[in-house]
Structure 1
Amino acid sequence: MGDQILPQISILDCATLGCAQPLAAPNLEELHIVSCEEIDSFPQGGLPQSLKTLEIDNCQKLARRIASKGLQSEGLTSLSLSSWDDAKSFPTQACLPASIESLVLSKFPNLETLDCKGLEHLTSLKLRIEECPNLENITQETLPASITQLNIKENCPLARKLKEMNNPRIQFETVRNCTIM
Structure 2
Amino acid sequence: MHGIREVTEEFYGSLSSKKPFNCLEELEFSDMPEWKQWHLLGSGEFPTLEKLDIINCPELSLETRTPVQLSSLKSFQVIRSPKVGFVYEGMKQIEELYIGNCNSVTSFPFSILPTTLKRLEISGCPKLKLDPPFVEMFLEELSVVECDCIDDISAELLPTARELSIRNCHNLTRFSIPTATETLFIQNCENVEKLSGGGTQMSSLTIWNCKKLKWLPLPQLLPFLKHLYVDNCPEIESFPQGGLQRLVIWNCKTLVSRREEWTLPCLTELWISHDEEIVGGENWELPTSIQILAISNLKTLSSQHLKSLTSLRHLCVKGNLPQIQSMLEQGQFSHLTSLQCLRIRDFRNLQSLAESALPSSLSHLDISHCPNLQSLGMPSSLSELSISNCPLLTPLLEFDKGEYWPQIAHISTIQIDEECL
Specify the TM-score bucket, using the shorter chain as the normaliser.
0.7 to 0.9
Identity level (%): 21
Structure 2 residue ranges without an equivalent (≥5) = 1-182, 184-202, 204-225, 228-244
Instruction: Give yes or no for the alignment of 1:9 onto 2:244.
Output: no
1:38 aligns with 2:38: no
Q: How does 1:1-181 map to 2 (within 5 A)?
A: 7-12=245-250, 13-14=252-253, 17-18=256-257, 20-21=259-260, 23-35=262-274, 37-41=278-282, 43=284, 46-62=285-301, 65-66=302-303, 69=304, 71-72=306-307, 73-84=309-320, 86=322, 87=325, 90-95=328-333, 97-119=336-358, 121-138=359-376, 140=377, 143-153=378-388, 155-163=390-398, 164=402, 165-166=405-406, 167-169=409-411, 171-174=414-417
Alignment: residue pair count: 164
- Listed one character per residue, the Cα deviations across residues 97-138 of structure 1 (whole Å, up to 9, x for unaligned) are 11111100000111111111111x332331000111111112
Shift of 1:89: 7.2
- Give unmatched runs, 5+ long, in structure 1: 177-181
Q: 1:16–1:23: structure 2 CA closer, same or farther, 3 Å change rule?
A: closer
Contact (CA 8 Å) 1:106, 1:132: kept in 2 or not? yes
Distance 1:40 1:127 in 2: 28
Partner deviation per Cα, 1:22-81 (whole Å, 9 max, x = no partner): 5522221111121251144363xx43232111011012222xx23xx4612011100000
Taking a change above 3 Å as real, the CA distance of residues 70 and 133 of structure 1, as seen in their structure-2 partners, is: same
Distance in 2 separating the partners of 1:85 and 1:28:
22
How many Å separate the matches in 1 of 2:288 and 2:255? 26
RMSD value, Cα? 3.0
C-alpha spacing 1:22/1:128, structure 2 compared with 1 (3 Å): farther
* In 2: Cα distance, 1:19 partner to 1:42 partner: 11
Question: Structure 1 residues 126 and 94, CA, compared in 2 at 3 Å: closer, same or farther?
Answer: same
CA contact (8 A) 2:327 2:333 kept: no
Q: Which structure carries more relative contact order (alpha carbon 8 Å, separation 6+)?
A: 1
Structure 2 length as normaliser, TM-score? 0.35
Q: Which letter does structure 2 place at the counterpart of 1:71? A: L
Change (3 A) 1:90 1:173: same
CA contact (8 A) 1:126 1:149 kept: yes
Q: Is the 8 A contact 1:107 1:132 kept in 2?
A: yes
TM-score, normalised relative to structure 1: 0.73
Tell me, what secondary structure is at the counterpart of 1:79?
strand
Tell me what 1:179 maps to.
none
Native 8 Å contact 2:350 2:372 kept in 1: yes
Corresponding letter in the other structure for 1:160: P
Name which of structure 1's ranges 100-109 and 89-98 shifts more when overlaid on structure 2: 89-98
Q: 1:56 to 1:30 in 2, by over 3 A?
A: same
Rounded to whole Å, the distance in 2 between the matches of 1:89 and 1:135 is 15
Q: Which has the higher mean CA deviation after the structures are superposed, 109-118 or 85-94?
A: 85-94
Q: Which amino acid aligns with 2:319?
A: S
